[in-house]
Amino acid sequence: MRPPRERLVEADRAGWTGMGRGAGRSALRFWPTLAVLLCSFPAASSPCKILKCNSEFWSATSGSHAPGPDDTPEFCDALRTYALCTRRTARTCRGDLAYHSAVHGIEDLMSQHNCSRDGPTAQPGPRTPPPPPAGDSQERADSPDTCHYEKTFHRHPATPNYTHCGLFGDPHLRTFTDRFQTCKVQGAWPLIDNSYLNVQVTNTPVLPGSAATATSKLTIIFKNFQECVDQKVYQAETDELPAAFADGSKNGGDKHGANSLKITEKVSGQHVEIQAKYIGTTIVIRQVGRYLTFAIRMPEDVVNAVEDQDSPGLYLCLRGCPLSQQIDFQAFHTHGGQRPGARRPAAPDAFPYEVAAAKCKEKLPVEDLYYEACVFDLLTTGDVNFTLAAFYALEDVRMLHSNKDKLHLYQRTWERPGGVAAALAPPGPQPLLIPLVLPTLLLLLPGSW
């Protein structure tokens, strides 16, 4: 089999299935539109809970819960429940295109199934799943071999070279090449953009008027691939870490290798893992406090499967943050931490340096860049949850990075003009105060950015 770099990625097809067998696929053409809308308008964390409504309806009308041909009353009950959910979130979803698409879809389905608007709203109860087809098993997910990345290397002497990328905190980025950067990157930014996968994060201010940001929304698109998976979208945001894709499913769709893409909830509302065996990839998403963290393990040839190799497009996990978005601690130190503009008072709950360092030391005894990032975040935000964000980010490196000797990093990297990476000398225990406190004060200056 050809390596992933040479595989042909099929053109995007309408991989979305209908909302349950009883719904009929033709009645749900609004669903692909909804999925596109969810990814096309990244925004700050919103009180609109249309994703929750969508997932609940899907769960009630698909898989073992799917109403059969004679279960129209049950399906209508689920539709009315869906409609009630959308009405409850209507006020907070005004102007949300995904919400309005769902409302129109519900109307179409109720018309097709002759459902009345008045009636019970209880969702269908669990049904006994049908027996699997003859010769089928849970392992059919790994067949054909095309849908299992590691099996394609059995005929090659070399084993795949896995790489890691992570984003956490305010925000700190560890690239696939183990560069460690602290960036501003407010708004929507692409972490990964290759032939198989798109990952986009939205970072919002931690405090009103502050330059400190953290990740409040995450969108992942798994592209349609051969006989393995349909296109799937995963979207998480603050207080909404679903254990399913945007269409409510937990695998790659209806194709023979669908189970080569699976989502698993490790801790409800706090920790989700996605396994994409067909591209040898593992993704870990967490919510720590009010913000999200992201970590990924991906083979090097999949990382570099970029359609336009000459394009300087954004791909933060591979190329790092743009120079204009990087926080250059060395330059801050060189210029005495001075920037134009009047000073603004620190965050109300900001920690003194000694307290921030002590809190981080409890979770991160090694004074590496994760420890430094932790101290920086506490000084910048006053939010103790950033201590856990740095801790779990390091734990994800421990689990996902193929080179255990690179668990701890001690040199922060930034880009000089022209794209040349430079490593900053690791600060000693006492000088650490300067590169952390001065940027913290600068981030609080009005009009600095």
Q: What is the pLDDT of residues 142-193, one digit of tens each?
A: 445 779 888 775 555 567 889 999 999 999 999 999 999 999 888 999 999 9
β-bridge partners, 222: 197, 232
Residue type, 372: E
| CA-to-CA dists, residue 140 to 32, 132, 145, 261, angstroms | 27, 11, 10, 12
Environment class of 235 (CB within 10 Å of its CB; exposed 0-12, middle 13-18, buried 19+): buried
β-bridge partners, 416: 420
CB atoms within 10 A of CB 362: 10
Measured between alpha carbons, how far is 353 from 93 in angstroms, rounded to an integer?
42
* pLDDT for the residue numbered 309: 65
Q: What is the pLDDT of residues 379-397, one digit of tens each?
A: 888 899 999 999 999 999 9
Is the peptide bond prior to 144 cis by the omega test (within 30 degrees of 0)?
yes
* pLDDT for the residue numbered 178: 95
Q: Look at residues 211, 203, 226, 394 and name the one whose alpha carbon lies nearest to residue 292.
A: 203
* pLDDT for the residue numbered 2: 46
Q: What is the pTM of this model?
A: 0.63
> The dihedral of CA 316, 320, 321, 324: what is its sign?
negative
* pLDDT for the residue numbered 128: 34
Q: Token digits for 162?
A: 């896995």
The parts of the chain modelled with pLDDT lower than 70 are 1-47, 59, 62-71, 121-144, 153-158, 308-312, 328-349, 412-449
Q: Look at residues 185, 374, 215, 364 and name the one whose alpha carbon lies nearest to residue 287.
A: 215
* pLDDT for the residue numbered 344: 38
CB atoms within 10 A of CB 359: 17
* pLDDT for the residue numbered 27: 40
* pLDDT for the residue numbered 330: 46
* pLDDT for the residue numbered 85: 87
* pLDDT for the residue numbered 154: 54
Q: Token digits for 192?
A: 């990964």
For 260-297, letters b (16+ CB in 10 Å) and e give bbebeeeeeeebbbbbbbbbbbbbbbbbbeebbbbbbb
